[in-house]
Structure 1
Amino acid sequence: MSKAIFTKENILLNESVATKEEAIKLAGSILVKNGYVDESYIEKMLQREELTSTYMGNFVAIPHGTEDSKQFVKDSGISFVQVPSGVDFGGGNIVKILIGIAGKGDEHLDILSKIAIVCSEEENITKLVEAKSADEILAIFEGVN
């Protein structure tokens, strides 16, 4: 029985971070704390960001590990960090929502596509940025788990 991909414990609201590295470490630390990945996965998330920005547009970034980070993933999981004041991801790209992903095998592609659908609707982004509870966040991502 694999664990739930996305739970209340994976959500941090109203955070404030100074840099994109700090933001990515925070998204990764949730995955570590809740047993989805080994500590080493965070380093792979930072490496991935150096290769290509995980900024997706619409105030959203989806940090995840590099291709060779699979060995550090125990279970597929998603972390969610809300940064209402925003954090600069470079090139004037401001991120208010970070969705950290760890996928077992090829599951990350499926997870990514579901998240992309939710995040492609601007009204969903507004709701995510303004959400005051983990339940509100989970309701918006209902189909992802």
Structure 2
Amino acid sequence: MEIQKELIKLNQSFSNQEEAIRYCGQQLFEAGHVNEAYVEAMIQRNEELSVYMGNFIAIPHGTDAAKKEVLSSAITIVQVPSGVNFGTEEDPKVATILFGIAGLGDEHLEIIQKISIFCADVDNVVKLADAQSVDEVVALLNTVD
């Protein structure tokens, strides 16, 4: 899937995980990839099973039931230099990169797999978190096949 530069957001900050997930969903909605109901499904998905994946990344996405709200596959990449906690105070799970995804059919599985492979190397996550431009993010992610 092609990465859309307008869906890459650098230097964001959020007070909590719900705010971060809503932001990702709003990006997908405003770009015309999902119906507004998908945003709530992203929150619900995180309540059912955390979207935090380890290695400082979270992959907010909707529930299976919300697939009907996806109009076209897309990914928003949100850089959060100060991090957002997807865990608890006692057991923090801090994400510095958020990959908000919407996939038609089973495309979301392919998207998650590519992100997981890239982010399995924590150095790649650090490079994304430190990227200073949208073009730098695109160049890093275009190394994934």
TM-score interval, normalised by the smaller of the two chains:
over 0.9
In structure 1, distance between residues paired with 2:24 and 2:139: 20
In structure 1, distance between residues paired with 2:129 and 2:65: 32
Q: CA deviation at 1:141?
A: 1.2
Q: Which runs of 4+ in 1 moved over 6 A?
A: none
In structure 1, distance between residues paired with 2:111 and 2:55: 18
Q: Which runs of 5+ in 1 are unaligned?
A: none
Aligned-residue identity in percent: 50
Q: Per-residue displacement from partner, 1:8-55 (whole Å, max 9, x unpaired)? A: 100110001100000001111110111111111000000000000010
Task: Tell whether the 8 Å contact from 2:12 to 2:79 is kept in structure 1 after alignment.
Answer: yes
Letter in 2 for 1:64: H
Q: Which residue of 2 aligns with 1:81?
A: 78
In structure 2, distance between residues paired with 1:132 and 1:36: 26
Task: Tell whether the 8 Å contact from 2:118 to 2:144 is kept in structure 1 after alignment.
Answer: no
Task: Tell whether the 8 Å contact from 2:57 to 2:96 is kept in structure 1 after alignment.
Answer: yes
Structure 1 residues 143, 68: closer, same or farther in 2, change over 3 A?
farther
Q: Which runs of 5+ in 2 are unaligned?
A: none
**2:3 is matched with which residue: 1, 6, 18?**
6
Count of aligned pairs: 142
Task: Tell whether the 8 Å contact from 1:5 to 1:76 is kept in structure 2 after alignment.
Answer: no
Q: Which residue of 1 aligns with 2:126?
A: 126
Secondary structure of the residue aligned to 1:29 is: helix
Q: Which residue of 2 aligns with 1:44?
A: 41
In structure 1, distance between residues paired with 2:130 and 2:42: 26
Task: Tell whether the 8 Å contact from 1:118 to 1:140 is kept in structure 2 after alignment.
Answer: no
Q: Which residue of 1 aligns with 2:25?
A: 28
In structure 2, distance between residues paired with 1:108 and 1:56: 15
The TM-score with structure 1 as length reference comes to: 0.94
The TM-score with structure 2 as length reference comes to: 0.94
In structure 1, distance between residues paired with 2:52 and 2:122: 15
Letter in 2 for 1:54: V
Alignment map for 1:40-79 (pairs within 5 Å): 40-79=37-76
- Aligned alpha-carbon RMSD (Å): 1.3
In structure 2, distance between residues paired with 1:108 and 1:16: 25
Q: CA deviation at 1:5?
A: 4.3
